[in-house]
Structure 1
Amino acid sequence: MKTLASLLLSLLCFSAFAQKSDSTRIRKSAIGYDLIEESTELKSKPHIKNGSAEVFFHKKLVATGLYKDNERVGRWRFFNRDSLSQVYNYNSKKVEYNVPDTTINYNIDSLNQGDKVLYPVKIGTMNNLYWYLTSTARVPEELFQKNTDYKVTFFLNINKLGKITKLVVDYKSENKSKTYEIVDQAHRYKDFEFSPAIVNGNAVDSQMILKVMARIGY
């Protein structure tokens, strides 16, 4: 199998500091998946995030919010193409605002006519999730060809606690296709949090379906 991504970013974190006030400073850190965070910390509590923070993806602002003792608190705002896309309250653990992504599909078992449904929502930017999926999945050997376009579909099983429990990927190339489960020994998919699907007021298991195009070329 060949890796779908031609270049992987090392996930080792780095830190840089800038002066903010006499009692605080800004720490700049790589937090994985091409995300860079600039967070406030007290000089009296080094390496413990306290205060405002901003997160960037390829130098574009994708999130703002607050930390208290290294934990995200209150309302965090997430952005997509410079527009507000989501507000998540880490205190109440609720999505207060979310712009639906019309490119995403969902499966929920045993829905009945008239059911009130809220589909699962990933907390925060989707950029890191797509980065993870495309860098983890591998093109099946029997489908591998240079300069070939692939239709790639990811199936994410999300439980009622908002955690990924299974990842499946389907590759299609011309008239050939193959579907297989992604096995991640490091269980990095546990890094991602979701607001689970809700049916008639109750959290339920669901499946999120993401589609991308990929091309293997040299």
Structure 2
Amino acid sequence: MKIIFFTICTLLLSLSTLAQETLLQAQKLTKDIVLIYNVLKDNKQIKDGLFQARYQKSKALASGLYRNDKRVGVWHFFDKQGTLTQNFDYDNNRLTYEAPDDSNFTYVIDKDFKQTDTVTKPIRIGGRCYGYIPYLLLFQKPADLLYYDRESISVTLELLISPAGNLADYTIHLSGFEYKNDLNVNINLLNAEDKIFVPATMNGEQIASRILVRCKMDNIGRLVL
């Protein structure tokens, strides 16, 4: 009994020591989204512990664990209303839940297929809200849009996904009355984890695909879903 008690005390002491080696950080990602996470005390570039992305301070957009700057376990992703949109198991690299599709998202398979073929769509790891924020943040409003009403401009993100599930290309299509512009975005500005997708498949074979996302500009020229 004493041995068991000593083991438990040792474990609790170890956990306490580990907890003291991390610091809580808060980072504003956008006007409405704050990232809250722990970093190692001796290396503040390495996340370790609980991570949350919160919308308007109270609603979670993402929740999961980091271990030595690597996502582990099952992560949960939500929309701005707090509805669960996706669960992803990072330990087994497996999607365990995906909510029904949003009408703003269209998927294109870069291969001819028949009705008898079994086709699955590409999926952004991170869900259809939090997962797409990194792409929205890369948008810079073109100078020639200065005199256009933002509500008259149609905006579509086009993401090319390789058969391996990597982001291969990113274009923002802008169009309106007597206006058209296609912006090529430098994907090297993204973090490695923001370039990872579950690839599309046809009859079990991974294939190239595209994701088209309709969005809009807010009153200061930022993209929002």
Place the TM-score, normalised by the shorter chain, in its bin: 0.7 to 0.9
2:99 maps to a residue whose letter is: V
Match of 1:30 in 2: 27
In structure 2, relative to structure 1, the CA distance for the partners of 1:96 and 1:39 (3 Å cut) is same
TM-superposed deviation, 1:201: 1.2
Higher share of residues assigned helix: 2
Q: State the 1:213 CA deviation.
A: 2.8
Aligned position for 2:99: 99
Measure, in 1, the Cα distance between the counterparts of 2:98 and 2:157.
Answer: 22
TM-score, normalised by the number of residues in structure 2: 0.72
Aligned-pair Cα RMSD in Å: 3.1
CA distance, structure 1, for counterparts of residue 23 and residue 116 of structure 2: 51
Matches within 5 A, 1:144-183: 144-148=146-150, 149-174=152-177, 176-183=178-185
The SS at the match of 2:113 is coil
Aligned residues: 196
- Of stretches 131-140 and 187-196 in structure 1, the one that deviates more from structure 2 is 131-140
In structure 2, the CA distance between the partners of 1:41 and 1:166, relative to structure 1 (3 Å rule), is closer
CA-to-aligned-CA distance 1:2-30 (integer Å, 9 cap, x gap): xxxxxxxxxxxxxxxxxx95641552242
C-alpha change, 1:61 and 1:21, in structure 2 (3 Å) is farther
Q: Percent identity?
A: 25
Residue number in structure 2 paired with 1:9: none
The answer to whether structure 1 residue 61 and structure 2 residue 60 are counterparts is yes
- Flag structure 1 segments of 5+ consecutive residues without an equivalent: 1-19
Shift of 1:206: 0.2
SS at match of 1:100: coil
C-alpha distance in 1 between matches for 2:37 and 2:158: 33
Q: 1:117-137, CA deviations, whole angstroms, 9 ceiling, x for partnerless residues? A: 211111114346246336524
1:134 to 1:72, Cα distance in 2 relative to 1, 3 A: closer
Match of 2:186 among 184, 189, 206: 184
Q: Rg larger in 1 or in 2? A: 2
- Write the mapping of 1:53-92 to structure 2, written as runs, cut at 5 A: 53-59=51-57, 60-80=59-79, 81-92=81-92
What are the within-5 Å matches in structure 2 for residues 121-140 of structure 1?
A: 121-125=123-127, 126-127=129-130, 129-130=132-133, 132-133=135-136, 135-139=138-142
Measured in 2, the distance between the counterparts of 1:62 and 1:21 equals 28
Moved more, 126-135 or 204-213: 126-135
Tell me if the contact between 2:125 and 2:131 (Cα under 8 Å) persists in the aligned partners.
no
Q: Contact 1:137 / 1:169 at 8 angstroms: preserved in 2?
A: no
Q: Which runs of 5+ in 2 are unaligned?
A: 1-14
Is 1:198 aligned with 2:201? yes
How far residue 46 of structure 1 moved from its aligned partner, in angstroms, is 5.3
Q: Which residue of 2 aligns with 1:7?
A: none
Larger RCO (CA within 8 A; separation ≥ 6): 1
Q: Which amino acid aligns with 2:106?
A: N
Does structure 2 retain, via aligned residues, the 8 Å contact 1:160–1:204? yes
Residue identity matched to 1:212 = C
Structure whose residues are more often strand by fraction: 1
Tell me if the contact between 2:122 and 2:200 (Cα under 8 Å) persists in the aligned partners.
yes
